[in-house]
């Protein structure tokens, strides 16, 4: 289900509830109502009445409507489904990348493709290959200056960008431009979108609470979404607090741009928009970094931070939103850092920037639930906060006017401090953003045709097309709002979308080792996961494990054991090379599949896997597995390895037996079927040799001979 909207606090979400929150909100509202005289904000006496919209127009495109009903008409949202964080694999050697909690409109969580087969066994087999052949290596997806890359969809990627200033990576998600896939040599301008005071560490509020991912799917900009920065004001702090030392101005303006420009085909033409705290920061960062942003937009921002009462308001808000101390950010109110970050104080530095400023009135709007008091909604905190935003925004706009700096200013006749209004402003600001950044406002006309058309029509969840057909290795493709359709004469037209589409992109898409898709996305027989088959492999997804490709000899063996219905269940990690030895390993929910040139692909799972790991995996004397798990008597199991075996039974546990005299002596008695039974411990050193205990006795060695001792 879609996450619930975050409750408004001093920013996009609040944590106080019930009577406490209402009391604090009413107290803040009372303070707000006396601020015009206390803070000297005399210009608000001429504020527009509640039933009109005041607009100061720039040469950029103005908003298109001006009545309360039209301006605040609801904006449709694309239905999305929330995925959950994957659980850790039981194969610790095959480490998996931690997943961010994210939303996607793709059918990896919601839609069954009607034309795809209903079971995995019906899919076309990959091209023939030797049973012992290693998987073709995946393309190198590393990016200089980035510690981790995660493709969420084919046009949404999460980067953990190294920040020397902060001493740790900081996550940024990017919604890639419309023509990212269709025009691989093209570059695109950037639109930074800043979050509010309660910014989460797993995902931007813009993609959680608004239709940003769908809205920008047909726009030719790279949308840059910093993830995290709760209570930061995207500033360089004076001191660390709560384990974080924010240096986000340095990060956003110095450390991040080279990564975007060198690796994500992003130009140095940039705009920035933000809501609440992010609106304040959009104006502050633009003023403090001349020439960096060509466009700056504030939605319900606080555009005067040094006016009487504002430092105290920020202190309260930041303490409430995470327990942060405002003194660690800019020091005491007398510190020059406060004025240096105040949009009002630095308004003169915004000359030449295309500006967009908006705020509601705090009165009940179409997205609010009315209370019993006329004009007052049940969003008491959001009402007071929006009034505060309105006062500071009007004061800021008045100063711009005195300085002769044009701005698109929209004083909405209603609306509280909450996400639906910020989504609306995102839509309204787009024409001005597009004109400033030099991209078309509207997407070019397109329509699916040929073999792609009936597949698109059968899958309306894909949304409309956003590109025409374009060539890819092995065929053609067409991008839609929520996924892609690929076609070749040999594979037909197939849908790839959502997190499966992201995993496909990460491994190189049709030009990578998987080749073209041979099925559309399909639900697994157990109803838990989804998959696509490709010419040389598959990608499987579940909410718990994420999406991972399975290919080569590892896929062959996994399929032989029953696919996801077999003992290993679903893949929980990508295939990686084994360190120190020539081989590969892939983690699954119940173990791992290993491949080596000598032994091929074999599965290790459960408590045998745990024992194998405790001994050092393939780097121990055991080496690579030579067999998958084999059942023996009394519900026992064993795997054979290069250097010996690991045996397990419910009564004896899991223990290793090394090749050599002990193993030979045990073999002479019929292994676990003989008088000695299962091992109950590993071999241990004794004077002159080693000894290993079994259920029915022990074996000691001296030189090359193993002596049996029965109980």
Q: For tokens 């403090």, name the residue.
A: 288
What Cα–Cα distance (Å) separates residue 347 from each residue in 306, 351, 393, 403, 654? Answer: 13, 8, 12, 8, 71
**Cβ neighbours, 10 Å, residue 582:** 13
Strand partners, 356: 297, 408
The span from the CA of 638 to the CA of 680, in Å, is 14
**Closest C-alpha among 133, 37, 43, 674 to residue 390:** 43
Please check whether residue 642 is in contact with residue 655, taking contact to mean a CB–CB distance below 8 angstroms: no
**Closest C-alpha among 130, 93, 128, 126 to residue 597:** 130
DSSP 266: E
Strand partners, 296: 272, 355
> Residue 267: left if φ>0, alpha if ψ -120 to 50, beta else—which one?
beta
The span from the CA of 219 to the CA of 188, in Å, is 10
Q: For tokens 């003989």, name the residue.
A: 674
Please check whether residue 330 is in contact with residue 337, taking contact to mean a CB–CB distance below 8 angstroms: yes
The span from the CA of 157 to the CA of 15, in Å, is 29
Contacts of 705 (CB under 8 A, 6+ apart): 661
**Cβ neighbours, 10 Å, residue 611:** 20
Helix residue ranges per DSSP H, 131-243? 205-209, 212-215
Please check whether residue 205 is in contact with residue 423, taking contact to mean a CB–CB distance below 8 angstroms: no
DSSP 664: H
The span from the CA of 476 to the CA of 86, in Å, is 33
Provide the token pair at 601: 């692909």
Please check whether residue 185 is in contact with residue 179, taking contact to mean a CB–CB distance below 8 angstroms: no
**Closest C-alpha among 156, 123, 198 to residue 540:** 123
Please check whether residue 191 is in contact with residue 268, taking contact to mean a CB–CB distance below 8 angstroms: no
What Cα–Cα distance (Å) separates residue 618 from each residue in 8, 189, 423, 682, 684? Answer: 53, 47, 52, 17, 21
CA 488 to chain centre: 31
> Residue 438: left if φ>0, alpha if ψ -120 to 50, beta else—which one?
left
Active site residues: 276, 386, 417
The span from the CA of 670 to the CA of 682, in Å, is 19
> Residue 697: left if φ>0, alpha if ψ -120 to 50, beta else—which one?
left
The span from the CA of 444 to the CA of 188, in Å, is 16
Q: For the sheet containing 630-631, what is the strand order?
A: 630-631, 637-641, 644-649, 653-658
Indicate the helix (H) or strand (E) that contains 709. strand 705-710
Q: Are strands 103-104 and 146-153 parallel, antiparallel or unpaired?
A: unpaired
The span from the CA of 152 to the CA of 148, in Å, is 13
Strand partners, 355: 296
Strand partners, 709: 698
Sign, CA dihedral 250-288-302-420, equals negative
The torsion angles phi and psi of 186, rounded to 5 degrees, stand at -80, 155
The span from the CA of 196 to the CA of 381, in Å, is 15
């Amino acid at each position: 289900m879609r996450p619930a909207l975050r409750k408004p606090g001093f920013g996009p979400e609040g944590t106080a509830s019930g009577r406490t929150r209402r009391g604090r909100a009413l107290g803040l509202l009372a303070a707000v109502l006396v601020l015009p005289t206390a803070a000297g904000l005399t210009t608000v006496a001429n504020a527009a009445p509640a039933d009109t919209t005041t607009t100061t127009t720039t040469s950029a495109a103005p908003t298109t409507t001006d009545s309360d009903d039209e301006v605040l008409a609801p904006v449709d949202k694309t239905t999305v489904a929330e995925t959950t964080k994957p659980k850790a694999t039981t194969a610790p050697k095959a480490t998996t990348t931690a997943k961010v909690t994210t939303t996607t409109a793709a059918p990896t969580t919601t839609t069954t493709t009607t034309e795809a087969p209903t079971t995995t066994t019906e899919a076309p087999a990959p091209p023939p290959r030797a049973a012992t052949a290693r998987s073709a290596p995946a393309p190198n997806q590393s990016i200089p200056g980035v510690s981790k890359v995660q493709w969420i969809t084919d046009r949404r990627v999460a980067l953990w960008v190294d920040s020397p200033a902060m001493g740790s990576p900081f996550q940024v998600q990017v919604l890639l431009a419309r023509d990212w896939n269709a025009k691989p040599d093209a570059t695109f301008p950037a639109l930074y979108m800043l979050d509010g005071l309660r910014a989460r560490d797993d995902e931007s509020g813009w993609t959680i609470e608004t239709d940003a991912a769908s809205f920008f799917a047909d726009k030719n900009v790279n949308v840059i979404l910093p993830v995290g920065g709760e209570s930061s004001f995207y500033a360089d702090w004076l001191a660390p607090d709560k384990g974080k030392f924010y240096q986000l101005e340095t990060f956003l303006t110095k450390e991040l741009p080279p990564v975007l420009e060198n690796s994500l085909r992003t130009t140095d033409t940039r705009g920035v928009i933000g809501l609440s705290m992010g609106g304040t920061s959009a104006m502050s960062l633009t003023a403090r970094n001349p020439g960096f942003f060509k466009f700056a937009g504030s939605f319900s921002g606080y555009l005067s931070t040094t006016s009487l009462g504002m430092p105290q308001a920020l202190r309260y808000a930041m303490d409430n939103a995470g327990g942060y101390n405002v003194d660690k950010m800019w020091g005491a109110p007398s510190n020059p850092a406060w004025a240096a970050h105040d949009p009002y104080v630095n308004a003169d530095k915004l000359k030449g920037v295309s500006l967009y400023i908006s705020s509601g009135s705090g009165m009940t709007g179409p997205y609010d639930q009315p209370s019993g008091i006329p004009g007052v909604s049940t969003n008491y905190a959001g009402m007071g906060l929006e009034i505060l935003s309105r006062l500071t925004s009007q004061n800021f706009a008045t100063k711009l006017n005195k300085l002769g700096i044009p701005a698109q200013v929209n004083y909405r006749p209603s609306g509280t401090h909450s996400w639906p209004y910020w989504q609306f402003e995102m839509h309204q600001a787009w024409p001005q953003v597009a004109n400033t950044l030099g991209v078309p406002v509207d997407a070019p006309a397109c329509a699916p045709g040929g073999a792609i058309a009936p597949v698109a029509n059968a899958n309306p969840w894909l949304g409309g097309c956003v590109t025409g057909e374009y060539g890819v290795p092995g065929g053609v493709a067409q991008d839609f709002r929520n996924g892609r359709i690929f076609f070749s004469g040999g594979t037909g037209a197939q849908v790839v979308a959502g997190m499966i589409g992201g995993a496909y992109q990460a491994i190189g898409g049709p030009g990578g080792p998987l080749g073209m898709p041979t099925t559309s996305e399909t639900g697994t027989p157990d109803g838990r996961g989804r998959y696509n088959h490709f010419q040389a492999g598959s990608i499987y997804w579940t909410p718990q494990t994420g999406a991972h490709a399975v290919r080569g000899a590892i896929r062959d063996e996994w399929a032989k054991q029953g696919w996801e219905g077999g003992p290993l269940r679903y893949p929980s990690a990508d295939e990686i090379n084994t360190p120190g030895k020539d081989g590969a390993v892939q983690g699954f929910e119940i173990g791992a599949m290993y491949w080596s040139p000598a032994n091929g692909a074999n599965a290790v799972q459960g408590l045998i896997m745990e024992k194998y790991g405790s001994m050092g995996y393939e780097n121990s004397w055991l080496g690579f597995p030579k067999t998958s798990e084999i059942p023996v008597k009394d519900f026992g199991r064993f795997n054979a390895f290069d250097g010996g075996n690991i045996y397990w039974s419910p009564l004896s546990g899991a223990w290793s037996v090394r090749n050599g005299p002990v193993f030979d002596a045990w073999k002479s008695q019929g292994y676990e079927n003989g008088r000695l039974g299962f091992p109950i411990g590993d071999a241990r050193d004794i004077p002159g040799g080693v000894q290993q205990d079994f259920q029915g006795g022990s074996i000691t060695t001296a030189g090359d001979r193993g002596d049996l001792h029965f109980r």
